[in-house]
Amino acid sequence: MKLFYRQTGQGGQNLIILHGIFGSSDNWLTIGKTLGEQHTVYMLDQRNHGQSPRSDVFNYEAMASDLKEFIEEHHIENPVIIGHSMGGKTVMQFAMNYPEAFSKMVVVDIAPKFYPVHHAMILQGLNALDLEKLASRQDANEFMKRFEENDGVRQFLLKNLWRNTATGKFDWRINVPVISKNIDLVGHELMNIKAVQQPVLFIRGGDSHYIQPEDERTIWEMFPNYELETIEGAGHWVQADKPLEFVEVVSKFINS
């Protein structure tokens, strides 16, 4: 599958960044621009997100395969692969399946374990929003308040709303039906488990609950050459909450 991507910077290391569920390459433009001052940065839209193609197949094996195809198509040598949340699971699955295809990996606020579905209310709202009758983004925000009380999360979700100039109506940049149908797969464990020897940096938000102390044993078994950095004052969206600290930690790891 040919993924949509944005590229910034030239020279240095090749960095590939994958967003999380309901996200897109757009979310990484500021971070990408900063990292692009020293490196070549590719920010991808994963399948069923952003401007990448849609597919009824939506699981980590497929998304890891998409990443492999992208690397081969663009002749990218030994990239550093970076993934947040769902994107973190994609890069971990990629590392299991193609251990020789990258040099280092950064996993942002996700562990290689099963997570129960916790986006049910959001998906209920996205499915219930009547795009045919929707007049404005503000109306969408008001409607979504019933399903998600956090304003920041709502704004993040509504970045996926765009007005189709051909029809004059709003549409989603995410494949809401397929994501809804496969949301349990987003929480699944990895497949094809094996120990990966390359250096891996796990970054967690100090206020996030996604990586727990007891997860370190599993992380060590799969990624024996790992480091774990906690960025205090950051939640699950570490890179959005503490961008300067995030870039500093990632840069130090890339250059080490």
Backbone angles phi, psi at 3, to 5 degrees: -85, 145
> pLDDT for 96-117, tens place per residue?
999 999 999 999 999 999 999 8
Percent of the chain with pLDDT over 90: 97
Separation CA 192–CA 181 (nearest Å):
23
> Of 181, 206, 232, which marks where a domain is finished?
181
pLDDT of residue 186: 94
Q: Does residue 131 sit in the same domain as residue 198?
A: no
Question: Is there a contact between 24 and 159 (Cβ–Cβ < 8 Å)?
Answer: yes
Q: Does residue 133 sit in the same domain as residue 225?
A: no
Looking at the annotation, which residues are catalytic?
85, 236
> pLDDT for 244-255, tens place per residue?
999 999 999 999
Angle at 13 between CA 240 and CA 244, to 5 degrees: 25
Q: Which residues of the chain have pLDDT under 50?
A: none
Q: Does residue 86 sit in the same domain as residue 157?
A: no
- Among the residues of the chain, which ranges form H helices? 29-35, 60-73, 86-97, 120-128, 137-144, 151-158, 176-181, 183-186, 216-222, 238-241, 243-255
Question: Is there a contact between 223 and 196 (Cβ–Cβ < 8 Å)?
Answer: yes
pTM, whole model, 2 decimals?
Answer: 0.97
Among the listed residues 91, 70, 18, the one whose alpha carbon sits nearest the alpha carbon of residue 49: 18
CATH number at residue 86: 3.40.50.1820
Question: Which tokens hold the place of 25?
Answer: 């390459």
